[in-house]
Amino acid sequence: MRIKNHPILDFARDREITFYYNGQEIAAYPGETIASALHAAGIRKLSTSSKHHRPRGFFCAIGNCSSCFMVVDGEPNVKTCVVEVEEGMVVEEQEGRGDLSEKM
Amino acid sequence: MKKCDLAIVGGGPAGLAAAIKAHELGLKDIYLLERDNFLGGQLVKQTHQFFGSHKQFAGTRGIDIAEIFKEKLAKREEIKVLKGAVAQGYYEDDVLGYSYNNSFYKLKPKRTILATGASEKMLAFPNNDLPGIYGAGAVQTLMNQYGIIPGEDILMVGAGNIGLIVAYQLLQAGVKVKAVIEATGSIGGYAVHASKIRRAGIPILTNHTIREAKGKEEVEGAVIQELDDDWQLVAGTARELAVDTICLAVGLTPKVDLAIQAGCQMAYVAELGGDVPVRDDCLQTSNPRVYIAGDSAGIEEATAAILEGELAAINVAQDILSDRKELIAEDKTTREKLKALRKGPVGEHVRKGLNKVRRNEDAGKDRYSRSWKG
């Protein structure tokens, strides 16, 4: 959920953009990270762990912990907590370790 | 491969202060590498007002301090500021590798200041990997930088300053904080923060720990339990709180990967948050080309990081330029400011930690009489 009234901060949200999460259309604002825009839409599970297939969300939000990896425009292991969302971006939940072989 | 006088890794308070100070003192060929596409590091999410003895910034909010630094930096166009540049490795021949715009670059700096900050600590309990469990810093980022709340009902674990401040910021954002729990018998943070939380009717439960998180796909609850003075669970006191979010404010640990790669001698110092480089009073590590500043040198707060960044820059200027009188004087006054900041009961654990990590034979000496050769 997005904060609308805050005693100290103002959040500029002039222009709405659209991106895709597992095929579903999601609204976001420029400057938001992929993970934060998903959070605003109520989506907190971003991937599943490689061994026990447990759900994963982000933990650190600053690109340290690698818990937020998703497949973005076909590229796996994107740190969605620091990469900004863009118009038309295709974001998918990641299953375990990302496969880089297709990219190479 | 490019050469330069000084490379600074990290554009948070320590790195920004170092870049501005080094340029002010006459160094021209400076690179500042910042992995994010914005400067300020963790200041950009700190909406609370700073206090402490560093007159310059007491009463100012972290977000505003970041702006002040950015303005100062923008006036110094000679500094090469690379946003989105990720330092990838520090090699044996003192080459710093970094990626930038999908390419890999190599830099050979005469001196490097590592100001890489810290990461949040985790806590071990069943289901601690569920979505909905965050570091306190992550919650600050989500709320204060992006304007999005992490959930509706929160349990805060840890009653140090970060736990208390973030709990209060959650209230400001309209989130319900069910409780703040603290494993020790006392509240670690300042009384001024604790009383704000209490006035809002939120219980601060000391001698309480988290047993487990409940939920399948994400957090649906948290089980907490009382601890006795020997840290043992008190039977029959376990209870479940209906929360969808658990926030861990259990400390930070310095990010020292590059220092290890640079061959810096390391020491484990609990008071400073973990493994840190051994350094002298001028913040020079055992690799004479490498200095360390800010949280990556030991967990403190932003005012200390700023002063450390400046101190490292002053000493780099002395290494590279000359031993000008004003540099020697500035080195002395900056060290005195740091000392003043760390005095009193609040700075006690930092002082204790620094005594363990500093080469004792160099304590209090200036750079010309110390044993560390650079």
Whether A100 maps to a domain, the answer reads no
Distance CA B333, CA B59 (A): 22
User: Which residue's structure tokens are 């005195």?
Assistant: B336
Residue B359 in this model has a pLDDT that exceeds 80:
no
Provide the angle, in degrees to the nearest 10, between the axes of the packed helices B13-24 and B302-320: 30
Q: Which residues of A touch B218 (CB under 8 A)?
A: 44-45, 55, 57
> Average per-residue pLDDT in chain A?
92
Which of B47, B145, B153, B176 to substitute to test the interface with A, most A CBs within 10 Å? B145
pLDDT digits (tens, 9 = 90+) for B268-321: 999 999 999 999 889 999 999 999 999 999 999 899 999 999 999 999 999 999
Q: Do B113 and B167 lie in a common domain?
A: no
Question: Which token pair is B319?
Answer: 């290494």
B248, B275, B307 - which closes a domain: B248
User: Would you state the pLDDT for residue B51?
Assistant: 63
| Least confident among A22-31, B35-44, B323-332 | B323-332
Q: Do B239 and B299 lie in a common domain?
A: no
User: Which residue's structure tokens are 């901060």?
Assistant: A9
CATH code, domain with B179: 3.50.50.60
- Test B132 with A44 for CB contact under 8 angstroms: yes
Q: Do B217 and B276 lie in a common domain?
A: no
Whether A102 maps to a domain, the answer reads no
Assess B138–A contact: CB distance below 8 Å, yes or no: yes
Closest CA to B310 of B57, B10, B110, B17: B17
3-state secondary structure of B139: helix
pLDDT digits (tens, 9 = 90+) for B90-101: 999 999 999 999
Assess A53–B contact: CB distance below 8 Å, yes or no: no
> Average per-residue pLDDT in chain B?
92
Closest CA to A33 of A23, A22, A46: A46
User: Which residue's structure tokens are 């020997």?
Assistant: B230
The band of A9, judged by pLDDT with boundaries at 50, 70 and 90, is confident
Question: How many structural domains compose chain B?
Answer: 2
Question: CB of B354 within 8 A of CB of B311?
Answer: no
Assess A79–B contact: CB distance below 8 Å, yes or no: no
| Least confident among B45-54, B224-233, B255-264 | B45-54
Whether B367 maps to a domain, the answer reads no
Which of A44, A48, A85, A103 to substitute to test the interface with B, most B CBs within 10 Å? A44
**Residue A30 distance to chain B (closest CA, Å):** 10
The DSSP string of B62-128 is HHHHHHHHHHHHHT-TTSEEEET-EEEEE-TTS-EEEEETTEEEEEEEEEEEE---EEEPP---TTT
**Residue B358 distance to chain A (closest CA, Å):** 28
User: What mean pLDDT comes out for the span B240-254?
Assistant: 97
Whether B340 maps to a domain, the answer reads yes
Residue B360 in this model has a pLDDT that exceeds 70:
no
Q: Do B240 and B297 lie in a common domain?
A: no
Cβ-in-10-Å burial (0-12, 13-18, 19+) of B368 comes to: exposed
The band of B222, judged by pLDDT with boundaries at 50, 70 and 90, is very high
Residue B323 in this model has a pLDDT that exceeds 80:
no
Distance of CA B29 to the CA centre of its chain: 26
Q: Which residues of B touch A36 (CB under 8 A)?
A: 142, 146, 148
pLDDT digits (tens, 9 = 90+) for A50-99: 999 999 999 999 999 999 999 999 999 999 999 999 999 999 999 988 88
- Closest by Cβ to A62, choosing from B137, B148, B150: B137
CB pairs under 8 A between A and B: 97
Nearest CA in chain A to B253: A64
3-state secondary structure of B137: helix
- Test B130 with A57 for CB contact under 8 angstroms: yes
The band of B50, judged by pLDDT with boundaries at 50, 70 and 90, is confident
| Radius of gyration in angstroms for the set of CA atoms belonging to chain B, rounded to a whole number | 22
Which of A59, A86, A94, A103 to substitute to test the interface with B, most B CBs within 10 Å? A59
Q: Is the ipTM of this complex over 0.90?
A: yes
Say what percent of chain B tops pLDDT 70.
94
| Least confident among B10-19, B51-60, B157-166, B205-214 | B51-60
Question: How many structural domains compose chain A?
Answer: 1
Residue B258 has phi, psi (to 5 degrees) of -70, -35
Distance CA B291, CA B316 (A): 8
Distance CA A51, CA B374 (A): 48
Whether B374 maps to a domain, the answer reads no
The band of B374, judged by pLDDT with boundaries at 50, 70 and 90, is very low
Enter the pTM of the model: 0.92
- Closest by Cβ to B142, choosing from A7, A13, A39: A39
- Closest by Cβ to B119, choosing from A1, A58, A65: A65
Q: Which residues of A touch B130 (CB under 8 A)?
A: 54-55, 57
Say what percent of chain B tops pLDDT 90.
83
**Residue B65 distance to chain A (closest CA, Å):** 15
User: What mean pLDDT comes out for the span B152-156?
Assistant: 97
- Test A36 with B138 for CB contact under 8 angstroms: no
Assess B119–A contact: CB distance below 8 Å, yes or no: yes
B186, B216, B248 - which closes a domain: B248
Q: Do B219 and B171 lie in a common domain?
A: yes
Residue B159 in this model has a pLDDT that exceeds 70:
yes
- Closest by Cβ to A63, choosing from B35, B122, B149: B35
Assess A12–B contact: CB distance below 8 Å, yes or no: no
User: Would you state the pLDDT for residue B368?
Assistant: 55
Which residues, at least 6 apart from B356, have a Cβ–Cβ distance to it below 8 Å?
Answer: B267, B269, B271
What residue numbers bound the domain in which B238 lies?
A: 122-248
B228, B248, B268 - which closes a domain: B248
**Residue A32 distance to chain B (closest CA, Å):** 6
Question: CB of B272 within 8 A of CB of B354?
Answer: yes
- Closest by Cβ to A59, choosing from B42, B133, B172: B133
What residue numbers bound the domain in which A60 lies?
A: 17-95
Assess A85–B contact: CB distance below 8 Å, yes or no: no
Q: Do B271 and B347 lie in a common domain?
A: yes
The DSSP string of B226-285 is EB-TTSPBPTT--EEE--SEEEE---EEE--HHHHHTT--EEEEGGGTEEEE-B-TT-BB
Q: Do B133 and B211 lie in a common domain?
A: yes
Which residues, at least 6 apart from B310, have a Cβ–Cβ distance to it below 8 Å?
Answer: B17, B18, B21, B334
Q: Do B204 and B269 lie in a common domain?
A: no
User: What mean pLDDT comes out for the span A14-38?
Assistant: 96
Residue B263 in this model has a pLDDT that exceeds 70:
yes
In this structure, which amino acid lies at residue B356? K
Question: CB of B26 within 8 A of CB of B316?
Answer: no
Distance of CA B114 to the CA centre of its chain: 12
Q: Do B33 and B55 lie in a common domain?
A: yes
pLDDT digits (tens, 9 = 90+) for B63-108: 899 999 999 999 999 999 999 999 999 999 999 999 999 999 999 9
